[in-house]
A and B are shown apart, each in its own frame.
Chain A
């Protein structure tokens, strides 16, 4: 039986910040700007939250289905590290605003940036089990960076976005190699969100853990998949991308370790097999649970899919858990993806000045975790709202009443 991704879409926000101007404003070392390989990042407005991002990513996928197909979505699982309630899941709101049927399992999973993959593999297991033949699952990674430490070197990479995937037995976008999964997890305190408005950690230790998981996950994949070779088996690669420069370093190290490749050989291989995955990551920044799938979107939109191509994916989440897995995409994927015009959507984002960005951070700080009652006041950013969201039919938060979030279409 085939299982995998039937359709995929991302929502990368309505406003965008230029990273070089952020470096200059914060007086950060510009040598590190080159290492990031990041051009811009998406910024959430205070009337956007993980629910609106998730719904705005998923809605085009759901609307493309027939009512009969829509009724077969029997699982909605969100992966996120930007939760809004300890008990009630993001999926309950997402399910409601997408108008899905009630024969449906709803829950949320968390494991830092591995959350999207935890959600995907849960869905794949459900579909492959054939416990409900013909059912589909909606998997969404949705996250918003918490820019509470202005001027840190993490701030430039903290983006906002969501990737939605429809998982089922007609995997036109990416047929997963079922059972070809190498995973590796252990406890380490690298990066974390220990309080609702705190995102902190040790980025060097996180890099070390990422590399550890990459090496061991791939080794396990190769142990399970006879003849698997890091270079020959995969036409393309998409890795979790906290920032593109890190992926470049990780790829170079693994290639040297496995093949003794020189820096020049690694560079050529990177440009050929990895660089196509970075086109959206460079424009959106790190979107945590969803980042590896943003890389996949970039790859699917930029790669040569005139013949079936095997793609190797590496997912990593701090804390930590990593997984290397793979799938095949071909001409059918290109046909399905064409209608979504993701690059065009990114180009529509409204550029922010530094003062506007600061103002949005300040306004966002009012929306702390656990608010009981509050109306969204658009006044401080009315102009941005009007230009970026008004009339586009995107989901936005209107108020919280008795802890219950109420949304509406812009």
Chain B
């Protein structure tokens, strides 16, 4: 993982752990999907929105729809970060 992807993934991971209270952070790897980690639909949207906010990105919500795992999500955020 290159440094920029790693940076964005760490932001996403922090929000996954924040939203899914009690989840072991070691389980949050980039290949996993939020659903596998136990996130419901509201949790998934929250992780996406909070991550975009923390990164200072204004990403249209509909564009974040369709990310099937954390790698997809990180890729969308990275594209908006212009990196």
Binding site for B on A (CB under 8 A): 31-32, 35, 188, 202-205, 207-209, 211-212, 245-246, 248-250, 252-253
Contacts and interface: CB of A to CB of B under 8 A. Distances in A.
B23 interface: no
B33 to A, nearest CB: 12
Interface string B41-60: 11111100100000000000
A211 B64 CA distance: 13
Interface string B29-40: 000000000101
B79 interface: no
A407 B2 CA distance: 69
B40 A35 contact: yes
A220 to B, nearest CB: 17
Nearest to B53: A257
Contact of A208 (B38, B40, B43, B62): B62
A188 to B, nearest CB: 7
Contact of B42 (A31, A202, A209, A246): A246
A204 B62 CA distance: 10
Chain B interface category by residue count: 10 to 19
Contacts of A35: 40, 42
Contacts of B38: 31
B65 interface: yes
A249 B65 contact: no
Contact of A249 (B46, B61, B62): B46
Contact of A205 (B40, B43, B46, B62): B62
Highest count of chain A CB atoms <10 Å: which of B38, B62, B64 = B62
A209 B41 CA distance: 13
B42 A207 contact: yes
Contacts of B49: 253
A203 B46 contact: no
A203 B40 CA distance: 11
Q: Which 3 A-B pairs have the closest CB atoms?
A: A249-B42, A35-B40, A208-B61
A167 B52 CA distance: 43
A8 B72 CA distance: 48
Nearest to A247: B42
B41 A203 contact: yes
Nearest to A215: B61
Given A188-B62, A253-B49, A204 B40 contact: no
Contacts of B45: 204, 207-208, 211, 249, 253
Contacts of B65: 202, 204-205, 208
Contacts of B40: 31-32, 35, 245
B73 to A, nearest CB: 13
Given A249-B43, A252-B46, 6 more contacts: A208-B61, A208-B62, A209-B61, A212-B62, A250-B42, A253-B49
